[in-house]
Amino acid sequence: MKIVIIGAGIAGLTAGIALKKFGYDVIIYEQVKEIRPVGAAISLWPNGVKCLNYLGLKDKVAALGGQMDHLSYVDGIHGDVMTAFSLMPLIQDSGQRPYPVSRAELQRMLMDEFGHENIHLGTKVIALEEHKNCVHFTFEDGRKDSADLLIGADGTHSIT
């Protein structure tokens, strides 16, 4: 079965890695021409870390992650701490530590794991046609492709 994923962000790449591990032929198309390091640090909470661990990425995710034992919310205008708490109850209950990670480093690690040869940059989908057993799609440059299954992981303004 050929599966196409539209979007090479964290969701699309993670889905692609999982599907490849289950033996599917997966290709990812991404509309940007170059993946640039954008975004700040993000928090990977225990359930997300466990998903990445399941995909065989435990050591790689842990290497990207920092130590996060407490969490605070601070008023951005006045600098007042609105709340602060320990993450130890969460860690103990879930059996997994959350990690703060660089979004760009996480995306790069996922791209490396998926395989760059099956990620096609600069390929914006502009049209889709759903048929009984497949989906046909057209790219901005006029090229066409089809798949047995299409996954849209390219944001809220996506046509997929």
Does residue 160 form part of some domain?
A: no
Measured distance CA(110)–CA(59) in Å, rounded: 13
Measured distance CA(81)–CA(53) in Å, rounded: 33
Q: Is 110 left (phi over 0), alpha (psi -120 to 50) or beta?
A: alpha
Does residue 157 form part of some domain?
A: no
Encoded tokens for 26: 């997966």
Does residue 53 form part of some domain?
A: yes
Domain range holding 96?
Answer: 2-152
Does residue 158 form part of some domain?
A: no
Does residue 79 form part of some domain?
A: yes
Does residue 159 form part of some domain?
A: no
Does residue 27 form part of some domain?
A: yes
Q: Are 159 and 128 in contact (CB under 8 A)?
A: yes
Q: Where residue 9 sits, what CATH number does that domain have?
A: 3.50.50.60
Q: Which residues of the chain have pLDDT under 50?
A: none
Q: Each residue of 138-158: pLDDT tens digit?
A: 999 999 999 999 999 998 888
Q: What is the pTM of this model?
A: 0.88
pLDDT at 158: 83
Measured distance CA(153)–CA(160) in Å, rounded: 8
Does residue 141 form part of some domain?
A: yes
Q: What angle do CA 141, 4, 102 make, to 5 degrees?
A: 95
Domains of the chain: total:
1
